[in-house]
Amino acid sequence: MPTYLHHVSTAVPGVGYEQSAIQAVMNRWVGGERRTERLLSRIYRSSGIRRRYSVILDFLPDADGPFLGAALSDRPAPGTKFRNDLYVREASKLYGDLARSAVAECPGIDAADITHVITVSCTGFFAPGPDYVVVKALDLPGATERYHLGFMGCYAAFPALRMADAFCRADPDAVVLVVCLEMCTLHLNPTRDPESLVSTSVFADGAAAAILSSRSPHPAAAAVAVQGFASSLAPEGEQDMTWSIGDQGFDMVLSSYVPSIIEGNIADATARLLEELDISFGDIAHWAVHPGGRAIIDKVESGLALKHEQMEATRWVLREFGNMSSPTVLFVLERLLKLGVASGERVAALAFGPGLTVESGLFTRV
């Protein structure tokens, strides 16, 4: 029996900031040099982002929070424990709230139907962890199977969806709830290095949930059938996108070479997915691409020779939310389904992360 993705829900935490307001704060944070301020202006003006969300308040006008305040004084920046404690508090609430709303919004599915919970995050750790939080929030039985995928980065929604698909194919009664949540802004530690300035201009906080099962979708659901997944590596990019634990949060490397590496590998990675499923490129009506940044979107578009309008949902998510790591591609899929994917049309989804890893999936609207 096929697996169906019945519903996608999304949520953002904390405060929404206009990108122009963040730029003004960044001028206070790392400015003071005309060269840096000119570079900030160019980066933010060309970011393709209008708004981002964060659990921290340091981007408010005249803020003097623990992150910005440290940068403007002789105090050390908050350490990893401080940041992780903030993650535990804020993420625990958002995991529970999103799990409840995802089930409530999914036609034909109740909390009592959930048999498996898969949570995803690379921006914080605690135990009992997010999977436990979701089970408790939904008042699920202690026997509910639960799993957590950690520290995989922006492509991690795909391993979670693949795991959910495997559970559903093995057990026709399985109903799997996947929740991806990231609080990337907790780990911002801006410097005047150009690549640091680019990273801090892109990342944001957000969460997305998906519900999958083999049961026939409710007529009111905007459901898609899962056709399959594929993975690919571009080892030449191994050092260009990395994520490690530092003393002042998690240290992110996102080099300026990443868009070009993706452009050089995206066609082969996509061809592998289509070949495995015996689908031709022309059979794909819609594309849900992880909006890693404006340059990445442009390179994917050129690397796959896509029409500009085929990337509109991806650009919209980047513009309205920024790059939220693992949940972001689900934001794009949700946007496409809301805009209207006709019955029988196929959606190819792509995301990129450390490795340099390219993950892909194919879905068909039912």
Q: Which of 1, 4, 2 is nearest to 212 (CA)?
A: 4
Answer whether 333's CB lies under 8 Å from 222's CB: no
Answer whether 185's CB lies under 8 Å from 199's CB: no
Q: Which of 41, 45, 50, 42 is nearest to 16 (CA)?
A: 50
Answer whether 357's CB lies under 8 Å from 229's CB: no
Residue 141, judged by CB atoms within 10 A of its CB (0-12, 13-18, 19+), counts as: exposed
Tokens (6 digits) for 154 = 């922006």
Answer whether 233's CB lies under 8 Å from 173's CB: no
Torsion of CA 106, 108, 110, 115, to 10 degrees: -90
CA distances 182 to 24, 85, 185, 307, 345, Å, are: 24, 14, 9, 30, 30
Helix-helix angle 19-30:34-45, to 10 degrees: 160
Give me the catalytic one of 106, 122, 154, 180: 154
CA distances 214 to 177, 180, 223, 362, Å, are: 13, 21, 11, 16
Q: Is 154 a catalytic residue?
A: yes
Answer whether 205's CB lies under 8 Å from 56's CB: no
Please, which residues bridge with residue 157 across strands? Answer: none
Answer whether 291's CB lies under 8 Å from 330's CB: no
d(CA 357, CA 292): 13
Instruction: Annotate 70-111 with DSSP letters as a single string.
Output: HHTSSSPPP-HHHHHHHHHHHHHHHHHHHHHHHHHHSTT--G
Residues annotated as catalytic are: 154
